[in-house]
Structure formats: structure tokens, C-alpha cells
Amino acid sequence: KISLLSCSGSRSSKTFKPKKNIPEGSHQYELLKHAEATLGSGNLRMAVMLPEGEDLNEWVAVNTVDFFNQINMLYGTITDFCTEESCPVMSAGPKYEYHWADGTNIKKPIKCSAPKYIDYLMTWVQDQLDDETLFPSKIGVPFPKNFMSVAKTILKRLFRVYAHIYHQHFDPVIQLQEEAHLNTSFKHFIFFVQEFNLIDRRELAPLQELIEKLTSKDR
């Protein structure tokens, strides 16, 4: 488990979102336990596959919540290194810069620092996950028709946090001995989005070399 001690300080705690819990006893909770059990086997390709007889929307929902929690924790460990001064723009290396827009509150993309961007991004994702009409937690409540497109947008944006950490903050990740954890989390994420074709290949370009390296052993 990751220590949360490095998430101290007023700004860090603001960026660090509370963990999104899947209610115990629910079917989604059982799915999450299934996912954790298959992950434990070490075979990530198998772990991401849709369990027999399960609903794809529900499987994507459970895993999206799980990735949000993982990325939230990983970013939480390096917030002290990701500041207005160190990261005045949200980037993933010199070729890729992201501007924030959520389509409702901020319609025209704005240029902002990485900590600000990630705060916007994680708050936005959290709002989607908390919306019962989008992510129903009760059994029998159907997923909306646009669920998959919302999930794709969430995952596309979460990828950007991984890309920023890898490009701009990999040294502190190594210092904190979080490298293996980050790689495993990202590899799991990539296998999942590849399995269900959830992120456009162009969006993955900032980490294409790493993706090829991490996934080549498991073809």
C-alpha cells in the first residue's frame, strides 16, 4: 500500500481526492474482488477480460473507479514535486501540452499549470463517478446510453495524469521507490483500454514507446 504521508500540505490535500468506494455487498463490489483476485495471479491480459456472463458497462464502471483511485494515490505521492513553479503548463514531454475544458463550466480550453489542470481533471472525474445517473451503484438501475462515451472521456483524461507523471516526475517516483507500482498500475490500465478499445491510439502517443515496452512481453 502507498503511504499517504507525502500528501501533506494545504495544496496537496486539495488535489488529493477522497477514495471512491464501491459499496460492500453490491454486485460491483463482487466484480472488484474478482478483478483483484485475477490481478493477483499476475496475468494482466487475463485480468482485464470481461468475466463470463457479466455486463460490459458494469465491468468498465468498476475498473474506471479503480483506476481513478490508483491514479489518485500515485499522483498524491508526488504532489510536492508538481507545483506551479515546476510545472507551469500541463505537459507530457516537450511535444504534448494539455489545456483544460470540461464542456460545461469551462467551454473554451484554458492553459493552466499541471497541479491546477490535474485538480480540475480529478474533480471532474469524481463528479462523474458520483453521478448515480451515469454510474449507478444500485442493482437493476440501467446504465445510460452515453455511458461508454463518458467512460472513454474519463479514461482518456486519466491517461494524461500517467503521461505527466512519467514525463515530468519520474525521478521522484524512483526516489520514492514507487516505480514498480507505477509501472504495474499503468500496464494494467493500458491492457484494459486496449482490450475494449477505449482510448484512441493518437491520445496514447506521449507514452507510445513505454506502452510498447511494457506490453511486448505479454503478446
Residue list, annotated binding site for Zn(2+):
82, 87, 164, 169
d(CA 186, CA 94): 21
| Contact by Cβ (8 Å): 182, 214 | no
Place of cell 453490491: 26
* Cell triple for 117: 489542470
Residue closest to 125 by CA, chosen among 61, 177, 171 = 61
> Any idea how long the chain is?
219
3-state secondary structure of 110: strand
Give the residue among 130, 128, 163, 162 at the shortest CA–CA distance from 148: 128
- Which residue type sits at 173? V
Question: Grid cell 477514495 — which residue?
Answer: 19
Q: Is the separation of the CB atoms in 54 and 125 below 8 Å?
A: no
Q: Which residues are annotated as a binding site?
A: 82, 87, 164, 169
Taking each helix axis from N to C end, the angle separating 147-168 and 56-78, rounded to the nearest 10 degrees, works out to: 30
Residue corresponding to grid cell 446510453: 145
